[in-house]
Amino acid sequence: MATRTRFAPSPTGYLHIGGVRTALYAYLYAKKYGGEFILRVEDTDRERSTDEAVEVILEGMSWLGLAADEGPFYQTKRFDRYNEVIQALLDQGSAYKCYCTRERLDALREQQMAAKQKPRYDGLCRDSDCQHEDDAPYVIRFKNPIDGDVVIDDQIKGQVVINNRELDDLIIARTGGVPTYNLTVVVDDLDMGMTHVIRGDDHLNNTPRQINIFNALGAAPPLYAHLAMILGDDGKKLSKRHGAVSVLLYKDEGFLPEALLNYLVRLGWSHGDQEIFSMAEMIEKFDLKDVNKSASTFNPEKLLWMNQQYMMSMAPEVVAQHLQYQFDLAGVDVAAGPALEDLVVVQRERCKTLKDMLAVSRYFYEDFNEYDEKAAKKNFKEAAIGPLEALLDAYAVLEDWQKEPIHGVVMAVSEKLDLKMGKVAQPLRVAVSGTSMSPGIDDTLVLLGKARTLQRIERAIAFTKAKIA
Ligand code: GLU
């Protein structure tokens, strides 16, 4: 049987890195075994689901390159099918209508709590026909087996055994007929032919219930693998504050999808000491048996490190495509400056994200209004006028606008004026970039082009003269 896995997010919150890791593991597992990966949007909770969250799922998965072989399927389009299964369960006596009122259930719960018992439905409507008006509202409950164990052969956690006495009769359809999560998941996992369900261990409680429903339907349940949680560096459940924000925010913050996936694959799985994995390697080496049983800690510093590793090692033209997005986001016109792949080559050593790269590169594309205050104060003194004027003259007549001759001019001016190179190069750097930090001055000038260089030197001379006057 071909391996089939799925990612089944609920669009009640934005897809964040925890969800992405689950999706990635399910994707890798399917690909490793030559199977299929399915995307299913579990949107039955109409009140809490939003179209925006669905968009984040679709866009996020596409940005990450985690393409589904089938789907997206939407649960809200499958109500007829769920109702059919609920009816079948009723017909075969595996489910029943429960007319218990809210008041009765509340009183029952209070009684149980007072007696220090775990609150559970007592099964009043299960066997006896409980008293009710003909048109009284009801829910539909699944007849959970009374005794015996449910054994989960968890592919990560090992064997988990739950006694049926721990489980009560779960509601599978609410008043009005809306099916509940545990029912819809089983119907879908069955209809969609899932062989492996890989999901967060916050669902471990649901698994024995789902296995019982599979059994009642006369179907073999899939294999389950429950992933341990991701914690923040303070040991608490990952929240917004720790970076559990919409995955698209990572795109906007200038992360490469490849780097994010590589970071996430290691967050809970390892293969020796290896840190960097191409997608092909992840698929080859990933396996559920190597997934950690215990929780992992999200480390934003390591993610930044990983991102830089990818910026450094990926082909500049590929990095440039992602950088283009940052320019578009910021409304900076790429056509007004050097080709992005050339920019990537000179800037990537000093940037951890593409957003940083844009931030330190704007002067190549647009004029800046002000000099960095400290840099201007330090470099634009009377003593800088001589070197800047000499540079202006020499660059004005330089035909071959390349690294070496550009560097040659800085050296020649330093020699002629008997100055250390820094006394020439640094005012030049501030003149052209507005800051004291830029790539090598020769790289900077090559990218900036001759016309802009001359114009900015002139401007710096005027600025310095005005300042000292
Ligand atoms: N829709 C559920 C969630 O987002 C996941 C269900 C499952 O994977 O079985 O938590």
The total number of residues shown for the chain amounts to 469
- CATH number 2.130.10.10 given to 367-469: no
12 Cα nearest atom in ligand 1: 4
Assess whether 355 carries a catalytic annotation: no
- Find out whether 64 and 247 touch, Cβ atoms under 8 Å: yes
State in words which class domain 1-71+228-313 has.
Answer: alpha beta
Spatial distance between the Cα atoms of 6 and 30, rounded to a whole number of angstroms: 9
The reported pLDDT for the residue numbered 179 is 96
Ligand 1 touching residue 201 (CB < 6 A) = no
**Of 104, 94, 85, which is closest to residue 170 (Cα–Cα)?**
94
Residues 6+ apart with CB under 8 A from 99: 125, 130, 131, 132, 136, 137, 138
Task: Find the 60 Cα to ligand 1 centroid distance in Å.
Answer: 17
Alpha carbons within 13 A on the beta-carbon side of 24: 32
Ligand 1 touching residue 203 (CB < 6 A) = yes
- CATH number 1.10.8 given to 315-366: yes
The whole-model pTM stands at 0.94
Ligand 1 touching residue 9 (CB < 6 A) = yes
Alpha carbons within 13 A on the beta-carbon side of 457: 24
The reported pLDDT for the residue numbered 130 is 78
Mutate to test the pocket of ligand 1, among 42, 211, 230 (most ligand atoms within 8 A of CB): 42
Is the Cα dihedral 423, 424, 429, 434 positive or negative? positive
Beta bridge partners of 223: 196
pLDDT tens digits for range 112-164:
999 999 999 999 999 877 788 889 999 999 999 999 999 999 999 999 999 99
Ligand 1 touching residue 185 (CB < 6 A) = yes
Mutate to test the pocket of ligand 1, among 4, 10, 21, 39 (most ligand atoms within 8 A of CB): 10
Spatial distance between the Cα atoms of 33 and 28, rounded to a whole number of angstroms: 9
- Number of helices (H) and strands (E) in the chain: give both, helices first: 19, 12
The reported pLDDT for the residue numbered 409 is 98
CATH architecture of 80-173: Alpha-Beta Complex (3.90)
Other Cβ atoms within 10 Å of 440 Cβ, number: 14
Alpha carbons within 13 A on the beta-carbon side of 261: 24
185 Cα nearest atom in ligand 1: 9
Q: How far is CA 450 from CA 333, 363, 446, 461, in A?
A: 19, 14, 8, 17
The reported pLDDT for the residue numbered 237 is 87
Task: Find the 16 Cα to ligand 1 centroid distance in Å.
Answer: 13
The reported pLDDT for the residue numbered 169 is 97
Token code pair at residue 389: 């004027």
Instruction: List the catalytic residue out of 77, 236, 240, 467.
Output: 240
Stretches where the chain sits below pLDDT 70 are none
Domain range annotation of the chain: 1-71+228-313, 80-173, 315-366, 367-469
Question: Taking the chain, what is the end-to-end CA distance rounded to the nearest angstrom?
Answer: 84
7 Cα nearest atom in ligand 1: 8
pLDDT tens digits for range 343-393:
999 999 999 999 999 999 999 999 999 999 999 999 999 999 999 999 999
Which residue has tokens 């003269």?
465
Ligand 1 touching residue 196 (CB < 6 A) = no
Other Cβ atoms within 10 Å of 400 Cβ, number: 8
